[in-house]
């Protein structure tokens, strides 16, 4: 009897020490929980991107259902910033200084992200997978910022390379959104074509608020482009393709991964999207890739709200969170920020549902040390929103 | 209500000892606040203070001179970009760059004020609205301004003082806000203010009395643009990053809403209006975590609406607040204040 | 030359939808002097009602579209009755804020109910079919929009000129007090105005919806319609229509020949210039204020 009492006491003390150690270990980490923050526009003009945050939420719930990571549950804190940087900063500060986040994941938009980047970096809070393929994240690189989304320029390169090398096209034009996103695509296309000694035959900017794209399409038509790159929002891409159809302007359209959700694109374009080639950064919604199917069944089917759609934006939320989850898993019991950074840096060819992700030890002069994903593959939209794979995953330099 | 016997009574800052007492309390509270609050609340206070500055300026134009503007985000943007560019490219210190950027904005305000001589009501609204939209397009076009990719603000030094944290900035911002508010208040009490009010109430009558319409209308635009410009310059450093798309039409609308909700032609009203609406703007995102109400709203969405769009309740609540305040008190919060004061003066009758 | 004519055609096509919204705004402004910033969202919610009937309740389209128009009329009347009529001592600024508040509420309701994801309206005419006249293309939907816009204008013109209700509206607008004395129920007239305006706006929304449906789709057309109305003089129906077509054409020519980047804002620059010359728009008589 006496011995048992000792054992119990010992166990109790150990537990207490464990708890205290757990509490003192790191901000946002306790013996049973890890707090992860995220922002995403649920209201405002960019609200269509809001499903990214909801996707991450379902993914975390799935992990928790399976017992969490090494016994700790992931507590997901997401808030709506309406794509307004002032609100993003307010929300990030509130959560970081109130509850205390261990790390941040995803976060939609270049401008909102840039408003909080310095704040998070100065505090040494890791931030994994901003959902925008901007150069701002990796050039110059930051120790605690890990980009997942392939650079916009990279997709443009892949598409141009395919158009020139595989399809033998010479006349390539681009319609791009007049912001960071579009300009990066433009830059990528120019650089890639310069290698082949070709110039873009037309560069047509479009503003986010434009509602009449006929002048833009006329410009494209006049250039007689054989290939038109679409570096715009979903809405403008659909309008461009549709108006071209109405104007009997026949050309091969190629689009960014933003518009690679073919079932959605076919639906809202009323079928005009057929034949468009797109770059993608993740497996396709209807692909039979086993891990993707697991996510669909265990995360989406279980936790998605009524009316949610299993689309690209939704599981992009999973893509951006995968490396973070993997790194926390590798941390074992020692969940600290320094350890997390080490584990992220040691990721080599990690394969989730996107292309392979690798990071390198921090080097302030090497942007690629924080750009995890540089792979893409091309698909073509077929009747009924089915996708035909044109190339395999390929790393674009 | 109060009888003013001479001019000096009208211009004096504190009408009674009670006012002095409460002002002192408020100043003390403002001074102690940053030592008690976390950085998040200080950031919020900074954000509020900037809106207060802009709204006071806009009230001079809308409330006192009776001109409408839906383009103040444009002046705000000019101030923000002006300050940052003057600091990074011309290497001016912040305290010089900020008022200079304000003056640039005032110059644009003067220009925009010119057509206002002939326009009113919806015509002026659409002209100013167009200005606000065009400015961001132009800024986005100029590569020096970082184009569409935006600009990061430089490190902020005032003499040897390095302003790093929100708290440091708070100590710069709050005195500045008080200074600008007092300036506006005094301005209204002078010849300029009386001329503006005369123009608002009866343009032609004012003109016959010798008020220079052109001078004062453009002056009102310039002053109000100056305030917006200074606010913009400060905003850039609160956010530490600016890009053209931040300065939307929605922002202009918000400024105007703050003025009207606070109360036209009242500095105190502007302060409360700006604080109330910008606080709501920041805090409404937490509406679903209010106990009971949040659960109920979620259940409601599940049943009748969609759970994916549940955050849009913010918009509904915000819109409803605007509508209700305007329905019950066209003079805004200031109107409520006046009514409450009257009620207590004559109480219990 | 072919380009030029094609741009003219495109401009007229774009102008038709501006014209409908512009007309809707003018109808309200004429009678109550409220620049109605909620116009776009009133059209939006009616459009989504049509979508809901078609997609979620499987109504046939010959029922769903008229029903959504009826809804639009009712919505307009309700808004006037419950909100605008209650405004005490209305001044223009207060009214602007109230309509902006209504705009937010309606936008919030639509996004709450339908989410932000783009939707596809099952419209009988595809927006991407076109007819060819000689060398020029016009999309069929735009032909329909043009016809609707012109018909609406003619009907409105006849309505204001010959019908009793229309006459009563005119009387109310010219002198509310006198109209009241003459036995016109001015408040009901105001309510009817809002209903009619909402109907006209909703038809614009329905005609814009086949291209793409999302909660923010009416924001830009609303501003352009407002601009067109201001250009035409804010109180003149033909003025709004003329302003709308002028705006559409200027935009397209400017985008085609000068700068496509500034296309979306050129309309406002033109308006400022035009207003400097004619401060009350192209068609309205300049109203001289007396002391």
pLDDT, one tens digit per residue, over A197-244 is 999 999 999 988 888 888 899 899 989 999 999 999 888 999 999 999
Q: Which domains does chain C have, with CATH numbers?
A: 2-277 (1.10.3470)
Take residue B164 and report the two structure tokens written for it. Answer: 């790093």
pLDDT at C192: 92
Residue A2's CB is within 10 A of a number of other CB atoms, namely: 6
What per-residue confidence (pLDDT) applies to B11?
A: 65
User: Given pLDDT bands bounded at 50, 70 and 90, which one contains residue A22?
Assistant: very low
The pLDDT value given to residue B98:
95
pLDDT of residue C48: 95
C269 at interface of B, judged by CB pairs closer than 8 A: yes
For every residue of C35-86, DSSP letters joined together read --TTHHHHHHHHHHHHHIIIIIS---HHHHHHHHHHHHHHHHHHHHHHTGGG
Confidence band for A21, pLDDT divided at 50, 70 and 90: very low
> What pLDDT digit, counting tens, does each position of B234-265 carry?
999 998 888 888 898 999 999 999 999 998 88
The stretch B103-127 carries a mean pLDDT of 88
- If you average pLDDT over every residue of chain C, what do you get? 88
Greatest Cα pair distance, chain B, in angstroms, is 67
* Inter-residue contact B59 to B264 (CB < 8 Å): yes
pLDDT by residue (tens digit) across A160-169?
999 999 999 8
The mean-pLDDT minimum among A82-86, B225-229, B317-321, C85-89 falls in C85-89
pLDDT at C287: 57
pLDDT of residue A4: 56
How far apart CA C282 and CA B193 sit, in angstroms, is 34
C290 pLDDT more than 60: no
Per-residue confidence (pLDDT) for residue A18, from 0 to 100 = 46
Q: What is the pLDDT of residue A19?
A: 46
Mean pLDDT confidence for A368-385: 88
The pLDDT, as a whole number, for residue C282 is 80
Residue A7 has a pLDDT of 53
The answer to whether the CB of B129 falls within 8 A of the CB of B249 is yes
B316 close to A (CB below 8 A) = no
Contact at CB, A268 and C118, closer than 8 angstroms: yes
* Percent of chain C whose predicted confidence (pLDDT) is above 70: 97
Asked whether residue A14 carries a pLDDT value surpassing 60, the answer given is no
Nearest-CA distance from A347 to chain B in Å?
30
pLDDT at A11: 53
pLDDT digits (tens, 9 = 90+) for B165-198: 888 999 999 999 999 999 999 999 889 999 999 9
Note the CATH number of domain B42-345: 1.10.3470
Question: What band does A8 get if pLDDT is binned at 50, 70 and 90?
Answer: low
- Residue of C122, C141, C98, C130 whose CA lies nearest to C47: C122
**Which has more confidence, A309 or A252?**
A252
Query: At B217, which helix (H) or strand (E)?
Result: helix B213-239
Each residue's pLDDT tens digit, A147-160: 998 888 888 999 99
Answer whether C223's CB lies under 8 Å from C229's CB.
no
Report the distance separating Cα A284 and Cα A354, nearest Å.
10
Give the A:C interface size as CB pairs under 8 Å.
106
- A81–B285: do the CB atoms touch at under 8 Å? yes
Q: In this complex, which chains have at least 3 CB pairs below 8 Å with chain A?
A: B, C
Top pLDDT among A372 and A16 is at A372
* Reported confidence tier of residue A1, pLDDT bands at 50, 70, 90: very low
Judged against a pLDDT cut of 90, whether residue B58 lies above it is answered with yes
Q: How confident is the model at residue B144 (pLDDT cuts 50, 70, 90)?
A: confident
**Interval A27-78: pLDDT, tens:** 889 889 999 999 989 888 888 888 899 999 999 999 999 988 988 999 999 9
- Nearest CB neighbour to B306, from listed A94, A179, A307: A307
CA angle, residues C64, C69, C75, in degrees to nearest 5: 120
- Rounded to a whole number of angstroms, the distance from the CA of B38 to the nearest CA of chain C is 32
The rounded distance, in Å, linking the Cα atoms of B251 and B257 is 10
Distance from CA of B249 to the nearest CA of A (A): 11
Give the pLDDT confidence score for residue B14 in this predicted structure: 66
| Average pLDDT of span C47-53 | 94
* CB nearest C118 (choices: A50, A211, A234): A234
Return the closest-CA partner of residue A207 out of B151, B81, C262, B147: C262
- Greater confidence, C276 or C58? C58
Tell me the DSSP string of B144-212.
Answer: GGTGGG-EEPPPEEETTEEE-SHHHHHHHHHHHHHHHHHHHHHHHHSHHHHHHHHHHH-HHHHHHTT--
* Count of beta carbons in the 10 Å neighbourhood of residue B68: 26
- HSE-up of residue B139 (Cα within 13 Å, Cβ side): 28
Burial of A143 (0-12, 13-18, 19+ CB in 10 A): middle
Q: Phi/psi at A5 (nearest 5 deg)?
A: -60, -45
Q: In order of start, what are the domains of chain A with their CATH numbers?
A: 25-150+288-359 (3.40.50.2300), 152-280+378-395 (3.40.50.2300)
Look at residue A6 in the predicted model and tell me its pLDDT: 57
Q: What is the pLDDT of residue B151?
A: 85
Mean pLDDT in residue range A182-193:
91
pLDDT at B145 over 90: no
Strands, E, within chain A: which ranges? 33-40, 73-80, 103-105, 127-128, 145-146, 172-177, 202-206, 227-231, 252-255, 277-280, 350-351, 356-357, 375-381, 387-389, 394-395
Indicate the pLDDT class of residue C283, thresholds 50, 70 and 90: confident
Rg of chain B (C-alpha set): 21
Q: Where are the alpha helices (DSSP H) in A269-387?
A: 290-295, 301-303, 312-331, 337-345
Spell out which residues of chain B touch residue A117, defining contact as CB-CB under 8 Å: 241
Query: Chain A residues with CB inside 8 Å of B312's CB?
Result: 42-43
Cα(A228)–Cα(A224) distance, integer angstroms: 10
């Amino acid at each position: 009897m006496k011995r048992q009492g000792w054992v119990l006491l010992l166990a109790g003390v150990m537990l207490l020490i464990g708890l205290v150690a757990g509490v003192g270990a790191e901000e946002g980490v306790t013996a049973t929980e890890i707090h992860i923050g995220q922002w995403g526009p649920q209201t405002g003009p960019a609200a269509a991107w809001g499903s990214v945050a909801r996707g991450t939420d379902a993914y975390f719930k799935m992990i928790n259902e399976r017992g969490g990571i090494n016994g700790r549950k992931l507590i997901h804190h997401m808030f709506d910033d309406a794509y307004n940087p002032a609100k993003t900063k307010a929300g990030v500060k509130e959560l970081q200084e109130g509850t205390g986040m261990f790390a941040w994941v995803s976060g939609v938009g270049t401008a909102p992200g840039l408003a909080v980047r310095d704040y998070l970096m100065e505090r040494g809070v890791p931030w994994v997978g901003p959902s925008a393929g901007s150069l701002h994240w990796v050039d110059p690189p930051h120790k605690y910022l890990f980009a997942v989304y392939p650079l916009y320029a990279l997709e443009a390169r892949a598409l141009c390379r395919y158009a020139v090398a595989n399809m033998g096209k010479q006349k390539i034009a681009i319609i791009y959104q007049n912001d960071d996103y579009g300009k990066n695509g433009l830059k990528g296309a120019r650089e890639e074509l310069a290698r082949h000694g070709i110039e873009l035959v037309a560069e047509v900017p479009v503003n986010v608020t434009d509602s009449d794209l006929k002048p833009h399409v006329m410009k494209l038509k006049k250039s007689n482009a054989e290939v038109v790159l679409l570096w715009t929002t979903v809405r403008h891409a659909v309008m461009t393709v549709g108006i071209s159809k109405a104007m009997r302007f026949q050309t091969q359209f190629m689009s960014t991964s933003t518009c690679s959700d073919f079932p959605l694109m076919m639906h809202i374009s009323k079928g005009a999207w057929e034949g468009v080639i797109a770059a993608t950064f993740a497996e396709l919604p209807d692909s039979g890739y086993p891990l993707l199917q697991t996510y669909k069944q265990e995360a989406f089917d279980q936790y998605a709200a009524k009316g949610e759609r299993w689309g690209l934006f939704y599981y992009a939320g999973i893509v951006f969170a995968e490396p973070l989850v993997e790194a926390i898993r590798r941390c074992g019991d020692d969940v600290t920020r320094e350890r997390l950074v080490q584990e992220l840096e040691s990721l080599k060819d990690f394969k989730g549902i996107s292309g392979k992700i690798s990071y390198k030890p921090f080097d302030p002069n090497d942007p690629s040390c924080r750009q995890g994903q540089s792979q893409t593959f091309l698909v073509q939209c077929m009747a009924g929103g089915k996708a035909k794979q044109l190339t395999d995953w390929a790393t674009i330099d | 209500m109060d009888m003013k016997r001479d001019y000096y009574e009208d211009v004096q800052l504190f009408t009674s000892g009670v006012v002095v007492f409460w002002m002192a309390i408020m100043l003390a509270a403002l001074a102690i606040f940053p030592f008690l609050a976390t950085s998040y609340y200080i950031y919020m206070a900074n954000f509020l203070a900037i809106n207060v500055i802009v709204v006071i300026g806009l009230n001079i134009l809308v409330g006192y001179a009776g001109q409408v503007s839906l383009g103040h985000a444009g002046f705000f943007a000019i101030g923000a970009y002006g300050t940052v560019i003057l600091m990074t490219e011309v290497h001016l210190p912040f305290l010089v760059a900020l008022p200079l950027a304000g003056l640039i904005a005032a110059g644009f305000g003067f220009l925009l004020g010119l057509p206002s001589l002939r326009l009113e009501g919806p015509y002026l609204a659409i002209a100013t609205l167009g200005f606000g939209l065009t400015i961001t397009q132009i800024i986005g076009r100029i590569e020096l301004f970082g184009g569409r990719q935006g600009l990061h603000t430089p490190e902020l030094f005032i003499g040897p003082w390095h302003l790093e944290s929100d708290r440091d900035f708070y100590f710069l911002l709050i005195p500045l806000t008080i200074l600008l508010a007092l300036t506006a208040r005094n301005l209204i009490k002078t010849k300029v203010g009386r001329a503006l009010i005369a123009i608002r109430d009866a343009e032609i009558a004012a003109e016959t009395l010798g008020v220079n319409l052109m001078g004062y209308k453009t002056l009102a635009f310039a002053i109000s643009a100056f305030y917006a410009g200074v606010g913009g310059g400060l905003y850039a450093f609160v956010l530490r990053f600016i890009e053209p798309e931040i300065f939307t039409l929605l922002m202009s609308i918000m400024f105007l809403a703050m003025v009207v909700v606070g109360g036209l032609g009242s500095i105190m009203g502007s302060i409360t209006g700006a604080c109330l609406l910008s606080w709501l703007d920041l805090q409404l995102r937490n509406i679903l975590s209010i106990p009971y109400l949040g659960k109920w709203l979620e259940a409601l969405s599940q049943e009748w609406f969609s759970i994916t769009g549940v955050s849009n309740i913010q918009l509904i609540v915000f819109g409803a607040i605007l509508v209700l305040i305007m329905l019950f008190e066209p003079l805004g919060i200031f109107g409520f204040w006046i009514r409450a004061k009257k009620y207590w003066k004559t109480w219990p009758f | 030359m072919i380009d030029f004519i094609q741009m003219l055609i495109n401009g007229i096509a774009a102008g038709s939808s501006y014209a409908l919204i512009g007309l809707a705004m003018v109808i309200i402004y004429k009678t109550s002097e409220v620049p109605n910033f909620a116009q776009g969202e009133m059209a939006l919610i009616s459009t989504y009602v049509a979508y809901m009937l078609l997609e979620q309740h499987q109504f046939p389209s010959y029922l769903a579209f008229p029903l959504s128009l009826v809804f639009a009329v009712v919505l307009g009347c309700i808004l006037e009755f419950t909100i605008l009529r209650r405004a005490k001592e209305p001044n223009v600024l207060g009214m602007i804020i109230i309509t902006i508040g209504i705009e937010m509420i309606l936008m919030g309701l639509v996004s709450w109910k339908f989410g932000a994801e783009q939707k596809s309206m099952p419209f009988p005419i595809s927006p991407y079919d076109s007819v060819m006249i000689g060398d020029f293309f016009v999309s069929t939907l735009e032909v329909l929009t043009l016809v609707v816009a012109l018909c609406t204008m003619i009907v409105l013109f006849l309505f204001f000129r010959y019908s009793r209700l229309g006459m009563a509206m005119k009387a109310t607008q010219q002198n509310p007090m006198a109209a009241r004395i003459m036995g016109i129920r001015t408040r009901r007239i105001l309510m009817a105005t809002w209903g009619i305006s909402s109907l006209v706006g909703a038809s614009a929304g329905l005609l814009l919806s086949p291209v793409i449906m999302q909660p923010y789709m009416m924001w830009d057309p609303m501003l352009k319609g407002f601009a067109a109305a201001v250009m035409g003089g804010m109180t003149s129906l033909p003025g709004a229509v003329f302003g709308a077509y002028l705006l559409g054409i200027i935009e397209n020519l400017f985008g085609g020949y000068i700068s496509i980047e500034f296309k979306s804002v050129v309309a406002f620059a033109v308006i400022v210039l035009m207003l400097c010359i004619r401060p009350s728009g192209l068609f309205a008589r300049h109203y001289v204020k007396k002391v």
